[in-house]
Homo-oligomer: A and B are copies of this chain.
Amino acid sequence: MSYQQMSREELLGLKGKLNEKYEEIKAKGLSLDMSRGKPSVAQLDIAMGMMDVLDGHSDMRSENGVDTRNYGSLDGIPEAKKLMADMMEVPEENVIVYGNSSLSVMYDAVARAMTQGVMGSTPWCKLDKVKFLCPVPGYDRHFAITEYFGIEMINIPMTQTGPDMDLVEKFVSEDKAVKGIWCVPKYSNPQGISYSDETVKRFARLKPAAEDFRIYWDNAYGIHHLYDEDQDYLIEILDECKKAGNPDLVYKFSSTSKISFAGAGIAAFAASEGNLIDAKKQLTLQTIGYDKINQLRHVKFFKDLDGMIEHMKKHAEIMRPKFEAVLTTLDRELGKLEIGSWYRPKGGYFISFDALEGCAKEIVTKCKEAGVTLTKAGAAFPYGKDPLDSNIRIAPSYPTLEELKQATDLFVLCVKLVSIDKVLEKK
């Protein structure tokens, strides 16, 4: 029976029982973390072979003869460009390989636009107003970058097929101050939604009022599936933009942070020739080159995209039971109560839970008080403000399966307790 259908007395009785249970768990003194999309130790262990592919006697030259130990090769060694290009489903010539963080590449793209403009446009710091569209819920670190640069953020609701494209098209075509949109197009952070073919096609056919508008396409989970068969496929955006006569419309970002090592992967940027020339003008001043030894290490370990995909199956074997444990508990405990909703992602790193309006902060606080840390409520929204105070991001990757089960049990209990109060308020 849903909480709405229960009487005041039934709800108060239930609350009493659940509170007892909550105090019991609290007494255990748990200390569990479901706050960030961090790989677990088991996931890091499967890449330890990467520490063996180079030793003191290795040939340290790339396939074109460049000594990876020395300066140079600003845009990456050829074999690393090929690996990242294949992973990102784009031609090699459209790729620059960066350091260990795709977040830095995104930061640089925005920072560059601030002081230099985009392919010859007015630097954004010279404009009165710059705006970004932010599909919500979304990735907090994207929003933090735009906030840092004083860029006004506009919430765009996510749908089951991606951002609300009617709204996106309206803002992009009508407002010259709108310079970008943050996208996690596949297994989105935090909902795990993949953009439909229609959504991608509409993105590629945007007619921006601003010449320096770009789609910031953070393909963070491109090959991060949970299942061997049941996977999402996306239309490749760079190619689609080209077909639509908009070759310069998109910046595509990716990295191996959640493939090899979270702290020591390699990142890449893919874009049109014009955009790459623009990026390299900055890059050539910024560094003499990124760590090419780590690029070589990645290629020697994975060999090629097939090797990477095989490796991702090992990640899936670790991640799948965790996602299923959370989802099974949510289904069983909350399935019929009408106090929350969630998606069933086929990949990525998160489960997104929408509580009754006005409950998210309290649920997160209640979990924290009993020893389980969740991502801060509101974090998935610009300025950390969830207008409905409803969304909670669950990151199942880092705890062990056993810890995760404990944490999820506590989570559903807290959802129930906070929701009962909310329902009671209205009775």
Q: How many angstroms between the C-alpha atoms of A281 and B71 in the bound complex?
A: 29
- Contact flag A291-B264 (CB < 8 Å), given A115-B115, A125-B126: yes
Kindly list chain B residues whose C-beta atoms are within 8 Å of the C-beta of A289: 101, 263
Residue in B52, B73, B114, B286 whose beta carbon sits within 8 Å of that of A55 in the complex = B52
Q: Which residues of B contact A358 (CB under 8 A)?
A: none
Query: Is the CB of A1 closer than 8 A to any CB of chain B?
Result: no
- Does A27 count as interface, using CB distance less than 8 angstroms? no
A90 within 8 A of B: no
Q: A interface, by DSSP: helix, strand, loop or mixed?
A: loop
Beta-carbon contacts under 8 Å, A349-406 to B: none
Which residues of A, 140-189, contact B by the 8 Å Cβ criterion?
Answer: 141, 144-145, 148-149
Chain B nearest CB from A315 CB (Å) reads: 14
Cβ B291 vs Cβ A263 within 8 A: yes
**Cβ-defined partner of A72 (8 Å) among B68, B149, B263:** B263
User: Which residues of chain B have C-beta atoms less than 8 A from A107's C-beta?
Assistant: 285-287
A103 to B57, CA, bound (A): 30
Cβ–Cβ < 8 Å partners of A287 in chain B:
100-101, 103-104, 107
Number of interface residues of A (CB under 8 A): 59
Confirm or deny: A202 has a beta carbon within 8 angstroms of a beta carbon on chain B: no
Within 8 A of B (CB), among A21-78: 36, 38-39, 41, 44, 47-52, 54-58, 60, 67-73
CA distance A36 to B288 in the complex (A): 11
Q: Is A416 an interface residue (CB 8 A)?
A: no
A376 to chain B, nearest CB (A): 15
> Chain A 209-247, CB within 8 Å of chain B: the 1/0 string?
000000000000000000000000000000000000000
Nearest B residue to A123 via CB reads B125
Interface residues of A in 282-296 (CB under 8 A from B): 282, 285-294
- Selected from B36, B44, B291, the residue in CB contact (under 8 A) with A100 is B291
Residue A99 is within 8 A (CB to CB) of chain B in the complex: yes
Chain B residues whose C-beta falls within 8 Å of the C-beta of A68 in the assembled complex: 263-264
User: Is A111 interfacial (CB-CB < 8 Å)?
Assistant: yes
Contacts of A52 in B (CB 8 A): 55-56
Give complex CA distance A294, B100 in Å.
Answer: 11
A262 at the binding interface (Cβ < 8 Å): yes
A261 within 8 A of B: yes
Most chain-B CB neighbours within 10 Å: which of A44, A49, A103, A262?
A262
Q: Which of A39, A68, A99, A103 has the most CB of B within 10 A?
A: A99
Cα-based distance from A114 to B110 in the complex (angstroms): 13
Most buried by B among A51, A68, A282: A51
Contacting residue for A262 out of B41, B71, B114, B264, CB 8 A: B71
Q: In whole angstroms, how far apart are the Cα atoms of A287 and B56 in the complex?
A: 30
Measured CB to CB, the closest approach of chain B to A366, in angstroms, equals 26
A261 touches B70 (CB 8 A): yes
Give me the 9 closest cross-chain CB pairs, A-B, nearest first. A125-B125, A264-B293, A69-B261, A52-B56, A44-B69, A101-B287, A264-B291, A48-B56, A71-B262
Can you report 26 A-B residue pairs in the complex whose CB atoms are below 8 A from each other?
Answer: A36-B71, A38-B72, A44-B60, A47-B69, A51-B56, A51-B58, A68-B263, A69-B262, A70-B262, A73-B263, A99-B99, A99-B100, A100-B290, A101-B286, A101-B287, A101-B288, A101-B289, A103-B286, A114-B114, A115-B125, A125-B125, A125-B126, A148-B285, A263-B288, A263-B292, A264-B294
Q: A50-B56, A51-B54, A100-B290 are in contact. List 16 more A-B contacts (CB 8 A).
A: A48-B57, A51-B55, A52-B55, A69-B262, A69-B263, A71-B263, A72-B263, A99-B99, A101-B288, A103-B287, A104-B286, A104-B287, A114-B125, A116-B148, A264-B291, A264-B292
